[in-house]
Amino acid sequence: MAANQQSTLGVIIGNRDFFPDKLVAEARTEILDLFKKLNITPVLLSDADSKLGGVETFAEATKCANLFKQHGEAIDGILVVLPNFGDEKGVAETIKLSGLNVPVLVQGYPDDLGKMDVVNRRDAWCGKISVCNNLYQFGIKYTLTTKHVVSPSDPSFIADLNNFTAVCRVVKGLRKVRIGAVGARPGAFNTVRYSEKILQRHGISVTTIDLSEILGNANKFTATDAAVKEKLDKIHAYANTGLTPPDKLVQIAKLDVALADFMAANALDATAIQCWTSLQQNYGCNVCTSMSMMSENMLPSACEVDVTGTLSMYAMQLASGSPSALVDWNNNYADDDTKCVLFHCGNWAKSFLPDITISTAPILGTSVGTENTYGALDGRTPAMPLTYGRISTDDCKGVIKAYVGEGDLTNDALNTFGNRAVAQIGNLQGLMQYVCKNGFEHHVVMNASKTAGILKEAFENYLGWETYQHA
């Protein structure tokens, strides 16, 4: 995954006074040094606020909780550090009193077999179980480290902490995401229907606009407008435009400005757009280039008004720190049961298309005229890591559900057009069985990362969404 982005974590250093106090002071220094290296901002008691900056008594828990409240908007998650047995009530009460509903990671230090005497013994192995028991009793969700006890300097803990900050980003981002739905879904695609009400229940807002309003606003602009000229410059810098007539590039730029204005006016994080066939018939180009540029700039945009598709794109982007793309589970790859073709006509982010060219959409062109499909991107995705997945609203059950998994994109030969890739996935046939039996859409999202575990932890543990992780 990408390098750790700026995160802020509340830190609770547990203590139990009949265990060695020096361990608390040492842990505080070690955690602060690690946070500095990983670009994480800490919020924790100082050694002037409590005994060595630890939390044990109710008074210390209250003081730490109040500190967390003061920084509540900034805190993405909480790290519980147990340099010794710790006080399970102190930890649980701090989190409860803070009122924060954020992910919690519990770490405990290992004992040294050569230092099991009274002045060095930790017993954090046992204490961690007690802390987790109390968190469970209090109804507080939490995440565990890969090793039951682990030193902060251990590579596995550093990986755990980086993954945890990614979980925090996903949870925080999805609880307040704002998505723009531009136009109506294609009439032929019942598959991209979704429940706006179920999404709203989970804090996910959808702002709708008729496609005619966007096209009407786009047509108000001229080639000489400063905003259009600026977009044209960005388009030329973004991709090879040699196959596209200048007047079509102006059309694309005008549409891009209208979409950007809509997003800014509504503080949107992502969009799902009616990309055919009204756009081609009534405006004369594809919106794919604009969608690709938005996705590359971390404002994901999905085809065919697939709102839960763009929600999936946003989630993967938060997990990895890199762009996502909406694709079709499209074709078998010859007779290899572990490989398949991923395809769209195409609007994938530039990160997936090193040979990106603005071209036409041949399939759409058969019905609306190829001359009306300029703006679709042509390009092949090379070998790279793959995380795939999908979030969906299940109206039959009234819930949000998801599946995630990992594989690889390959350099296998693929002679076709549009945006295309070959994916290799273990037990691919079993995955397709799961997708079909559980009523998921033909769209899936891909990301160049290995973040399936992060997504499952965020979706299932903290957001309460039923999530299948394919293995």
Q: What is the mean pLDDT of residues 313-342?
A: 98
Spatial contact of 164 and 105, defined as CB atoms under 8 Å apart = yes
Q: What is the mean pLDDT of residues 7-20?
A: 91
Q: Return the DSSP state at 178.
A: E
Alpha-carbon gap, residue 168 to 317, rounded angstroms: 13
Backbone angle region of 468, left / alpha / beta, with phi > 0 → left and psi within -120 to 50 → alpha:
beta
What pLDDT does 2 receive?
Answer: 42
β-sheet bridge partners, residue 270: 179
| Residue 20 reports pLDDT greater than 80 | no
Q: Return the DSSP state at 411.
A: -
Spatial contact of 352 and 448, defined as CB atoms under 8 Å apart = yes
What SS3 class is residue 214? helix
| Residue 39 reports pLDDT greater than 90 | yes
Q: What is the mean pLDDT of residues 280-307?
A: 97
Residue with tokens 């290992």: 110
CATH 3.40.275.10 domain locations along the chain: 178-469
Residue 418: partners with Cβ closer than 8 Å, 6 or more residues away:
343, 344, 345, 346, 361, 362, 363, 376, 377, 378
Q: Given pLDDT bands bounded at 50, 70 and 90, which one contains residue 189?
A: confident
Alpha-carbon gap, residue 85 to 129, rounded angstroms: 9
Q: Which CATH architecture has domain 7-174?
A: 3-Layer(aba) Sandwich (3.40)
**Considering only CA atoms, which of 201, 211, 206, 152 is closest in space to residue 29?**
152
One-character DSSP codes across 112-152: PTT--STTT---HHHHHHHHHHHHHHHT---EE-SSSS--T
What SS3 class is residue 386? strand
Q: What is the mean pLDDT of residues 106-114?
A: 93
| Residue 260 reports pLDDT greater than 70 | yes
Query: Considering the chain, what percentage of its residues have pLDDT values greater than 70?
Result: 99
| Helices and strands per DSSP (H, E), number in the chain | 15, 18
Alpha-carbon gap, residue 385 to 376, rounded angstroms: 25
Alpha-carbon gap, residue 207 to 305, rounded angstroms: 12
Q: What is the mean pLDDT of residues 165-185?
A: 97
What pLDDT does 3 receive?
Answer: 44
What SS3 class is residue 1? coil
Spatial contact of 323 and 295, defined as CB atoms under 8 Å apart = yes
The chain-wide mean pLDDT, for the chain, equals 96
| Residue 426 reports pLDDT greater than 90 | yes
Alpha-carbon gap, residue 123 to 104, rounded angstroms: 21
Q: What is the mean pLDDT of residues 302-331?
A: 98
Query: Considering the chain, what percentage of its residues have pLDDT values greater than 90?
Result: 93
Q: Given pLDDT bands bounded at 50, 70 and 90, which one contains residue 81?
A: very high
- Long-range contact set of residues 184-191: C-beta below 8 Å, sequence gap at least 24: 184/211, 184/274, 184/305, 185/274, 185/304, 185/305, 185/306, 186/274, 186/276, 186/277, 186/304, 186/305, 189/304, 191/441, 191/442, 191/443
Q: What is the pLDDT of residues 391-415, one digit of tens each?
A: 999 999 999 999 999 999 999 999 9
What pLDDT does 116 receive?
Answer: 79
What pLDDT does 415 receive?
Answer: 95
What pLDDT does 244 receive?
Answer: 97
Domain 178-469, classified CATH 3.40.30.10, yes or no: no
For residue 223, what are the CA distances in angstroms to 350, 360, 381?
Answer: 25, 21, 33
pTM as predicted: 0.96
Quote the distance between the C-alpha of residue 317 and its chain's center: 4
**Considering only CA atoms, which of 465, 172, 446 is closest in space to residue 320?**
446
Residue with tokens 């550090």: 81
CATH 3.40.50.10940 domain locations along the chain: 7-174
